[in-house]
Amino acid sequence: MKKSWFIATLAAIGWHTQAMAEDSSVGIIPAEIKWVDTKNLGRAVVLEGDPSGKGAYVLRIAVRPNDVTPPHTHNQAENITVISGWIGFGLGPVFDRSKGRVLPAGSFFHLPARTPHFAWTGPEGAVIQAHGNGPFP
């Protein structure tokens, strides 16, 4: 049930942002980004594509402070760039920060499809950009 709501929210965000991007033809500047609050992710915006469907997407996520994402997998590979703050990523089916790595702003992380992973943020949260081929997650 949560996943259906999440995908519907991303689709709505994607259609709105895509229309805005088509109108501007040059790109989207930070002042034009329209963040939307989501139940599971914090704030998010689709910069390109439709994360709920097949094909390329670019999604920016403002992850809440002190967020903990339990171990899970994605059916598709995902690329993550840390824009601001820091985010911890670990691999495996058990959440264990000691087996993860903190990635500061400017870091990049490639996550192959079906790789068990988990994440966490510090007291400032983080802004990350995820891109890949949908559907996401």
Which comes out higher in pLDDT, residue 17 or 105?
105
pLDDT tens per residue, range 76-109: 999 999 999 999 999 999 999 999 999 999 999 9
Q: Name the residue with tokens 């002042």.
A: 31
- Asked if pLDDT for residue 22 goes beyond 70, the answer is no
Dihedrals phi, psi of 30, to nearest 5 degrees: -50, -40
If you average pLDDT over residues 116-137, what whole number do you get?
95
Please give the model's pTM, rounded to 2 decimal places: 0.80
Mean pLDDT for the chain? 85
Q: Which H or E element spans position 22?
A: helix 2-24
Check residue 137 and give its pLDDT: 78
**DSSP three-state, residue 94:** coil
The residue type at 67: D
List the domains of the chain with CATH numbers: 2-134 (2.60.120.10)
Pair 96, 45: CB distance under 8 Å: no
**DSSP three-state, residue 84:** strand
- Asked if pLDDT for residue 15 goes beyond 90, the answer is no
- Asked if pLDDT for residue 72 goes beyond 50, the answer is yes
